[in-house]
Amino acid sequence: MTSPNSPIELILITGVSGSGKSVALHALEDARYFCVDNLPPELLIDFVDLETQKGSTKLAIAMDSRSAESLPLIPEQIAKLKKANVDVRLLFLDTQTSTLIRRFSESRRPHPLSKPNASHADIERDLQQSIDLERELLCDLRELSHIIDTSLLRNSQLQSHIKNLVFAPEAQLTLIFESFAFKKGIPVHADYVFDVRMLPNPHYEPELKALTGLDEPVASWLGQEPLVGKMTNHIEEFLSQWLQALNSDHRSYVTVAIGCTGGQHRSVFLVEQLTQRFSQKWVTLKRHRELGL
């Protein structure tokens, strides 16, 4: 492959079946990317060459276990594309197994790796085995990718998150802060997880209970608590020590998840504070999972 004269952006979407890859691809199509679903990996370089000759500069491709035999080719293909000055970003969509089983059961669609003649009694067992096999087939790609946990995301939220990622200003590293509730599970895509449940909780203040960490009365209340300030400073100091090393390791995204009990007050406030502090040096995004933002 020859290096393109104009920079080419390639978003490669992979992930487990039922995690929302088609939704992500539609979001990129809306963002003016030329999109292809289920391209065989062995055609990846030829496809990029062809689109380069046609003048395309924004490409998005979805690949998954339907091309199981060719998946081992992808890391080598990606290395060649990067060597040819193609900006390749890998996004891996993941979902909790229980959620996948529910989605397949509700849609009544078979898993791509399921047995074609499974009896009704064996369908659920076969689905579990298919999901486990798919995770095994995709584990190497998962290690290379930025992971997005879609377990609790509505389609509109996933589309918004995808657009925020691809439209972030050019930088070697984008820092993502995300608040969440421990009672709803830890985000599987988090690179770092900080537990702030030991901090004073506005939930027990009657006038603050119905508000969130985005509201001024809650922010003011938490801002006056010494332990909250101490925790925020400690997280900032830790990340400041290691972000440059992560950047030097050619990481595209680093997700820092901040969790409290309900994901409404403390974690939201700390995400807002940390986003403000780090945005002066790094490209920084924020998400509040339980608030749908």
CATH of the domain at 27: 3.40.50.300
Is 2 inside any structural domain? no
Please check whether residues 182 and 158 belong to one and the same domain: no
Is 84 inside any structural domain? yes
Q: Which two tokens stand for residue 149?
A: 């946990």
- The total of structural domains in the chain comes to 2
Q: How far apart are CA 182 and CA 15, in angstroms?
A: 24
Write down the mean pLDDT value for the chain.
88
Q: How confident is the model at residue 65 (pLDDT cuts 50, 70, 90)?
A: confident
Please choose, from the candidates 181, 184, 168, 194, the residue with its C-alpha nearest in 3D space to the C-alpha of residue 256: 194
Is 187 inside any structural domain? yes
In 3-state terms the chain splits into helix, strand, coil percentages (rounded to 5) of 50, 20, 30
Q: Which two tokens stand for residue 291?
A: 């608030």
Please check whether residues 205 and 104 belong to one and the same domain: no
Please check whether residues 55 and 144 belong to one and the same domain: yes
Please check whether residues 93 and 111 belong to one and the same domain: yes
Q: Which pLDDT score, from 0 to 100, does residue 121 have?
A: 46
Please check whether residues 195 and 52 belong to one and the same domain: no
Domain end, chosen from 147, 166, 185, is at 166
Q: Which pLDDT score, from 0 to 100, does residue 140 have?
A: 87
Residue identified by tokens 């390639």 is 10
The CA-CA-CA angle for residues 285, 198, 242, to 5°, reads 40
Q: Which pLDDT score, from 0 to 100, does residue 41 have?
A: 87
Residue 275 has pLDDT above 80, yes or no: yes
Q: How confident is the model at residue 220 (pLDDT cuts 50, 70, 90)?
A: very high
The residue with greater pLDDT, 67 or 190, is: 190
Is 260 inside any structural domain? yes
Is 3 inside any structural domain? no
Q: Which pLDDT score, from 0 to 100, does residue 280 have?
A: 87
The residue with greater pLDDT, 79 or 233, is: 233
Please check whether residues 249 and 156 belong to one and the same domain: no
Please check whether residues 65 and 43 belong to one and the same domain: yes
Residue 118 has pLDDT above 80, yes or no: no
pLDDT in tens, 92-103: 999 988 888 888
Q: Which pLDDT score, from 0 to 100, does residue 124 have?
A: 55
Residue 123 has pLDDT above 60, yes or no: no
Q: What is the DSSP string of 115-179?
A: -TT--GGGHHHHHHHHHHHHHHHHHHHHHHSEEEE-TT--HHHHHHHHHHHHTSPS-S-EEEEEE
Is 249 inside any structural domain? yes
Q: Which pLDDT score, from 0 to 100, does residue 6 have?
A: 64
Please check whether residues 114 and 181 belong to one and the same domain: no
Domain end, chosen from 166, 184, 215, is at 166
Please choose, from the candidates 22, 17, 67, the residue with its C-alpha nearest in 3D space to the C-alpha of residue 44: 67
Phi and psi for 87 in degrees, rounded to 5?
-80, 100
Is 267 inside any structural domain? yes
Residue 117 has pLDDT above 60, yes or no: no
Parent domain of 20: 8-166
Q: How confident is the model at residue 176 (pLDDT cuts 50, 70, 90)?
A: very high
Please check whether residues 111 and 138 belong to one and the same domain: yes
Please check whether residues 13 and 151 belong to one and the same domain: yes
Please check whether residues 83 and 218 belong to one and the same domain: no
Q: How far apart are CA 66 and CA 134, in angstroms?
A: 10
Please check whether residues 37 and 160 belong to one and the same domain: yes
Residue 270 has pLDDT above 90, yes or no: yes
Is 1 inside any structural domain? no
Domain end, chosen from 166, 192, 222, is at 166
